[in-house]
Amino acid sequence: MNKNIILIGFMGVGKGSVAREVVKQSGMVAIDTDDIIESMENRTIKKIFATEGEAYFRNLEKNIASWLASSVSNTLISTGGGFFKVDALNKIGTVVLLNSNFDSIYRRIKEHPNAKKKLKKRPLLQDLDKAEALFMERLPQYEKLADVVIDVTNRSVEEIAKELLKKCH
């Protein structure tokens, strides 16, 4: 009944950019779980991690997941890279994994005009080796949860959004 599309995938893979393009192509309404958390808490994710720790942040994600499952429909939901760990993700909607390899994801961030800001705001991207280990640990978990997998390596957002809409509608 809820007919949501929920975008999952590693930090920097392009969930936000793809969500904006899907909105452009389809007119769907979109929300972002990190944005909801920052407005609810009136502080940045970086600040939340630094002051309260990661467990506190994960708990906020869980609360948002229950709200999404019970009260949101016909919406494109982009999530933070660790949001997939909430209970019953597939109760929220069709789960779409945006996937690539770690090197391409990291290069995408580094080559962005706002690279410094993009790296700085993500506490779990500070140590490159740890981030890569996290990617390797999460990849099979992402794949297990996904109803649809889209490879985004070296592809334009237009093309990715088109594929997503074709596979989800």
At its nearest, how many Å lie between ligand S3P and the CB of residue 108?
12
**Which member of 41, 123, 147, 165 binds ligand S3P (CB under 6 A)?**
123
* Residue pair 73/1 in contact by the 8 Å Cβ criterion: yes
| Euclidean distance between CA atoms 43 and 7, whole angstroms | 23
At its nearest, how many Å lie between ligand S3P and the CB of residue 139?
12
Residues in the chain: 169
**Which member of 6, 11, 64, 72 binds ligand S3P (CB under 6 A)?**
11
Query: Which token pair is 138?
Result: 């999460």
Cβ-based nearer residue to ligand S3P, 60 or 165:
60
- The contact mask relative to ligand S3P for 27-56 (x = CB under 6 A, - = no) is -------x----------x-----------
Would you count residue 14 as binding ligand S3P (CB under 6 A)? no
**Structural element, H or E, at residue 6:** strand 5-8
The piece of 20-28, 121-129, 145-153, 154-162 that touches ligand S3P (CB under 6 A) is 121-129
Would you count residue 122 as binding ligand S3P (CB under 6 A)? yes
Quick one: DSSP state of residue 42? Answer: T
Sequence-separated contacts (24+) of 79-82 with Cβ below 8 Å: 79/6, 79/7, 79/8, 79/15, 79/32, 79/33, 79/34, 80/11, 80/33, 80/34, 80/37, 80/45, 81/8, 81/9, 81/10, 81/11, 81/13, 81/124, 81/138, 82/58, 82/124, 82/138
**Which member of 4, 72, 80, 160 binds ligand S3P (CB under 6 A)?**
80
At its nearest, how many Å lie between ligand S3P and the CB of residue 164?
17
* Residue pair 97/18 in contact by the 8 Å Cβ criterion: no
**Which member of 47, 75, 82, 165 binds ligand S3P (CB under 6 A)?**
82
Give me the residue whose beta carbon is nearest to ligand S3P: 80
Q: Which residues bind ligand S3P (CB under 6 A)?
A: 11, 34, 45, 80-82, 122-124
